[in-house]
Each structure stands twice: as C-alpha cells, then as structure tokens.
Amino acid sequence: MTDWLTGQVSGAEVVVSERRIGDLAGVFADAEAFARLPADRVVYRTECILGVPPGTVGGLFWGTTFIEPGTVGDEYFMTKGHIHAKPDRMEAYFTFCGAGLLLLMDAERHCRAERMTPGSTHLIPAFTAHRTVNIGEDVFSFGACWPSDAGHAYQAIADAGFAARVVRSQGAPRVVPNESTVCRH
C-alpha cells in the first residue's frame, strides 16, 4: 500500500534501499564539494514492492523514491540515473511531495526536463535515460511503476553522464548543458 500524501510504501514485502554520498562518486560535477560531504549522508531512498522475480515478463514493479534536499556545490541532489536494461520498456512517474525535475535524455543525447509537482504524472518513453532532481527545500518524493522485465542499466550514464545538469543559479534551478550536445528545456 502507498500513502498518497507522502509516498510511503508499507507492507511486509517492501524492499528499502538507500544511496548515500559514498555511493555516488562521479555523479556530481564538483569533485571538491563532493569530497567535503560526509560519505554516510543519505541522498535518496527507495521503497519498492517487487511482487514477482525481476525479469518476469508481464509483471509490474512499484516504488517510491525520496530525494533529500541539498546540493553538491551548486548541483542539486539527484538520482544516479539509468536507462532500462531492456531499453524499449517504458515507465510512469507520479509526484507525491516537494519540487523536482525529471531529466530525460534520448538516444541522440538530447535532453529535456519536466517539472514535477504534487499530483503531476510523467511518462518515460522507450529508449530514454531518466534521472530525477530535488530542486526544493524539502524532501521530494515520487512514485514509479515499471515493467518487471525492464531492469536498470547504470553503466552508460556512469560513463558518459547526462548531456545536461541542474544547478542552483541565483537561488533558482537552471538546466545547463553538460557537454557540447544539444539540450532542449
């Protein structure tokens, strides 16, 4: 069961996973600011219900991600980001609390960002890398529903990153190019 106000998932079968600063080496641009943060500081947590074994065709997985407020240098706390191991698999996101951005990047590395606000719903197309960013002062939480055979592939993003980054500039979020590739936002 999921609490629609907070996103908290309950039940005996909930799988909780945390990503701390120490798990996110290489994700943020400012290595010096990253090194100043405690390795055990939690950046985000997921609470998921995986009702069938991963890889099952035709099932659905369900979970909430909670991203803490904060920055590494001027870059907002965010998820590692991934594409699905079966890249044609789509996904739905829906926002519970806080303020976020969904960063989407297609196979040509074109990026766009969707604002995530409580109640907003988002469809992640096939063949599209995705990452979420907390651009607010409070915890940002959103739900996700994805096919149980989609899988998560992190290596491509770990190697090449996204073509855009989300930074705080004069107190407001700004999507800026990360490389020389095109960025639409």
Q: 79 is in the binding site of which of ligand PA5, Mn ion, none (Cβ under 5 to 8 A by kind)?
A: ligand PA5
Structure tokens at 89: 């698999």
CB-nearest residue to Mn ion: 91
For 47, the token pair is 């609470």
Q: In this chain, which stretch among 49-57, 65-73, 83-91, 168-176 interacts with Mn ion, using CB under 5 A?
A: 83-91
Say if residues 48 and 61 touch (Cβ distance below 8 Å). yes
**Integer Cα distance of 146 and 50 in angstroms:** 10
For residue 78, count other CB atoms closer than 10 A to its CB: 26
The residue (of 64 and 71) whose beta carbon lies closer to ligand PA5 is: 64
Query: Can residue 147 be called a binding residue for ligand PA5 (CB under 6 A)?
Result: no
Torsion angle of the four alpha carbons 105, 20, 175, 115, in this order, in degrees rounded to the nearest 10: 80
Q: How far out from the chain centre does Cα 93 lie?
A: 10
Q: Is 149 in the site for Mn ion (CB under 5 A)?
A: no
Q: Say whether residue 143 binds ligand PA5 (CB under 6 A).
A: no
Query: Is 152 an interacting residue with respect to ligand PA5 (CB under 6 A)?
Result: yes
Site size for ligand PA5 (CB under 6 A): 12
Find how far residue 72's CA is from the centre of its chain. 16
Q: Percent helix, strand and coil across the chain, each rounded to 5?
A: 10, 45, 45
| Among the residue ranges 77-85, 98-106, 107-115, 176-184, the one whose residues contact ligand PA5 (CB under 6 A) | 77-85
Residues in the chain: 185
Which parts of 31-70 interact with ligand PA5 (CB under 6 A)? 46, 63, 65
Residue 91 near Mn ion by CB under 5 A: yes
Residues 92-131 that bind ligand PA5 (CB under 6 A): none
> In the complex, which residues of this chain contact Mn ion (CB under 5 A)?
91
> In the complex, which residues of this chain contact ligand PA5 (CB under 6 A)?
46, 63, 65, 79-82, 91, 132, 144, 146, 152
